[in-house]
Structure 1
Amino acid sequence: MSDFRAIARGILQDNDRGGYTVPTAGLYPFQWNWDSAFVAMAFAEFDVPRGCLELERLIEGQWDDGMIPHIVFHQPSDSYFPGADVWRTSHRIPTSGITQPPVFGMAVKALHDSGAPAERIRPLFHAALRYHRWWYSARDPEGTGLVALLHPWESGSDNSPAWDVALARVPTTTTTPVKRKDTGHVDPAMRPRDQDYQRFIHLVDTYAACGWDAAEQWDAAPFKVACVQTTGILLAAGEGLQQLARALGEEAAAAELDAMNARSRAGLDQAWSDADSRFRSLDLVSGQRVAAPTQACFIPLLALDLPAARMAAAEQEMRRWCEGMLVSFPTTPRDYPGFEPRRYWRGSVWPIIDWLLVQGLLRNNATALAEDIRHSIVTALETAGFCEYFDPTTGEPCGGGHFSWTAAAYLHLSQLKITLSTAA
């Protein structure tokens, strides 16, 4: 019988590049923001110092304004596009110019709870606090409570159907030649389409022309979506950081985080749709709520205690998405026209999304569904291996292999013991 936990730990060791972990060799040869935060939380379970180092290497790329970029280019590689030369940022080490979901604060709290010493946690806490301040100032300047994305890549769910309408307004013209490398590593049928990449790079060109100034980007952005998934993660991280601030004796920071969290909590409450039994993001350009159903619509469970009626409706809707699936949880339901089970984020199952959803369901006492999803993805990983994501209809492993955050998700979910609720 295979020792899958040992295999998962081996993947993290294999993908170590000197204190930081690449997602997988070739396809993703640098350090990615939320990937590393998930990896650090996995390290918190068996190697706390290495988990701290993972985050310390990540914040080598933190900008003076507090943003933690989505990629830190510690070493050169020609196996990925767009590289540092396309981003044209002026940070002290090469980075991208956009960010990713702020799982970072969750990882700092996990390392603290696992016994990391205060002398390593305190600098990470302050980096996280500066990052949260950046989110609220740069990406919610009007105080709505929902933080906005200026590029689909900032969502982590790069070509999700959630972005189809907003992204369609972005021109396909670029001043940068698009030289895709991803389709040389992975079947093109699993990746975003060429037209998507043209629009992705148009946005990079637009913001590079702003000198990556946050206020100028906000004004120039042709893509601007206030995202419930990102806000839910920000709030969950903020709750953990508020608890950590008190543990560290940082009372002023605790009060500041309390105000930030209250702002996000109110924004998410307004984003709930009774008609759809889910949360809905807001397209700030059109003023319309995002209609596409995606996993993002349920990530706020991670940070909210829903009223019973809302939670019952959300759970029923989530169960509907799982019907007939070999692996759960699909990032888009089968009956949605944009459903493509093998293509990146358009219906596929991602272990790290299951990690977040399971935590949200447990918070809201939906233990049976949490266990169903946990068991489904653990079984898929033990059957098909530690791939980037799965086709939910067939269980086929898709994307890159030997994947770091997939190994991290397995280490977390495989040992999670869920006690089923006896409540009616």
Structure 2
Amino acid sequence: MTSDLDATARDILRANDRGGYTIPTAGLYPYQWNWDSAFAAWGFSTFDIDRAWTELETLFSGQWSNGMVPHILFHKPDPGYFPGPEVWQSGTTPPTSGISQPPVAAILARLIHQRDPENSRLAALYPKLLAWHRWWREHRCTHGPAAVTHPWESGRDNCPEWDPGMANVDGSNVGPYTRRDTGHVDPSMRPKKEDYDRYVAILQFGRDHGWDQKEIVANGPFLMADPAMTFILIRAHRDLAEIARTLGEDPSEPESWARDLEAALPEIWNADLHCYDARDLRTGTFANTLGSGAFLAWLAGIENGEMERRLMACWDAVPYGIPSSDPKGPAFDPRRYWRGPTWPVVNALIAMGFRDAGRTAEERRLRGETAALITKGGFYEYFDPTDGTPCGGDTFTWTAAIWLGWASPSAGDA
């Protein structure tokens, strides 16, 4: 069974390969997505190391002059996706979106390099990674913790943490548009129309201001501190520093960025919730919602006994993986995108934190639950954590990559 699933996962990566980059899945996501692509590279590294490096190099071919790596690269036109390049109007070559996504590339590039330590291709990527991390520092960490200017930038699009910020976004004047996602996936598993209207409104603000980062942060309709992004960035900065050491470069800059972010964590500690929480930076309001992003504290090397009890109770409430929203919370919806389902990709990041913290029992449990989901349900985008029902897109690139890199019994490392 394991060898069959390994072969299927490799076939999925090959089938979603579009010549130097992978799409997440045909139809629903026909372009190159940022953090999906970084995970794809990790998956490729288990059987085609050169293709893994090419994936990352193609991702960084879309890097902006200010250092940002966009969340979508529109390599080839595809009318089956909205919003496409004609909506974003980035003015770049290739056309891209105007926002970024979680900077996991340094984390995964380091893992790939450990498989291939003699390869020199990491050296060419390093200055591009450093420029992207500096962009995060200068344009998303201006309030202390890492912030996002659009729910899509977080990678966890419609999770309940964004509800306070989204409530203040006026989506009533975005004009007509046609969604394409609900033609590929059951609409009950996707964001609602009122959410999409607000997504489009936030996009239109950025586009209408020429993607001026200072204006977007200062006056855009949405700005929320994100625990998940903060924890990912702390870890990514540290891994980038280790890459610098490996290459004989000075690691002090990314190391200082990691220290500054860790020092800012009290600003997103919600004492009433007993965990780190998203916070609307326009109003100061906490989301008061426990999400899977809080579990990424271990990825950043952050231990907190008070939070641990809260998080473990959340995990124990379901049989399959880390739910993206507290099952006991009012917003929990086990099959609607990020409002409850468990995501193998997030489970893998959390497991990296468990492993590095020496929490082998928790890592083993999470690996086993994730493997059970994939073995039972296939390589879907995400799963219902209460009964294991597969949800979202099928033959999904990053789920195949997670299987090969971590969840499979034959995987060599996390």
**What range describes the TM-score normalised by the shorter chain of this pair?**
over 0.9
Choose from 398, 405, 413 the match for 2:407. 413
Match of 1:367 in 2: 360
Match of 2:94 in 1: 93
Instruction: Give % identity.
Output: 41
Contact 1:224 1:285 in 2 (8 A): yes
Instruction: State how far apart, in whole Å, the 2-side matches of 1:305 and 1:70 are.
Output: 27
Shift of 1:177: 2.7
Instruction: State how far apart, in whole Å, the 2-side matches of 1:264 and 1:127 are.
Output: 21
Match of 1:263 in 2: 260
Contact 2:321 2:369 in 1 (8 A): yes
Match of 2:391 in 1: 398
Q: 1:130 to 1:353 in 2, by over 3 A?
A: same
Q: Does 1:226 align with 2:225?
A: yes
Give the partner amino acid of 1:319: M
Give the partner amino acid of 1:160: C
Instruction: State how far apart, in whole Å, the 2-side matches of 1:73 and 1:355 are.
Output: 27
Q: Does 1:276 align with 2:269?
A: no
Match of 1:422 in 2: none
Structure 1 stretches lacking a partner, 5+ long = 420-424
Q: TM (normalized to structure 2)?
A: 0.95
SS at match of 1:85: helix
SS at match of 2:120: helix
Q: What is the root-mean-square deviation of aligned Cα atoms in Å?
A: 1.8
Q: Does 1:327 align with 2:320?
A: yes
Shift of 1:21: 0.6
Give the partner amino acid of 2:298: L
Contact 2:225 2:268 in 1 (8 A): no
Q: 1:365 to 1:314 in 2, by over 3 A?
A: farther
Shift of 1:116: 5.2
Residue correspondence of structure 1 range 336-355 to structure 2 within 5 A:
336-355=329-348
Q: Does 1:195 align with 2:188?
A: no
Of residues 322-331 and 119-128 in structure 1, the stretch that sits farther from structure 2 once superposed is 322-331
Residue correspondence of structure 1 range 24-423 to structure 2 within 5 A:
24-115=25-116, 117=118, 119-142=120-143, 144=144, 146-251=145-250, 254-273=251-270, 275-306=272-303, 310=304, 312-411=305-404, 412-414=406-408, 415=410
Instruction: State how far apart, in whole Å, the 1-side matches of 2:120 and 2:211 are.
Output: 33
4+ runs deviating over 4 angstroms: 416-419
Q: TM (normalized to structure 1)?
A: 0.93
Q: How many residues align?
A: 411
CA shift digits 1:205-247 (9 cap, x unpaired): 1010110011121122111011110111111111111011011
Instruction: State how far apart, in whole Å, the 1-side matches of 2:342 and 2:174 are.
Output: 34
Shift of 1:367: 2.2
Give the partner amino acid of 2:50: P
Instruction: State how far apart, in whole Å, the 1-side matches of 2:159 and 2:398 are.
Output: 19
CA shift digits 1:228-282 (9 cap, x unpaired): 101111111111110110111112xx11111111111212255344553421222
CA shift digits 1:33-76 (9 cap, x unpaired): 00001111222222211110001111111000000000000111
Instruction: State how far apart, in whole Å, the 1-side matches of 2:361 and 2:272 are.
Output: 24
Contact 2:154 2:229 in 1 (8 A): yes
Contact 2:150 2:199 in 1 (8 A): yes
Give the partner amino acid of 2:339: R
Instruction: State how far apart, in whole Å, the 1-side matches of 2:255 and 2:322 are.
Output: 32
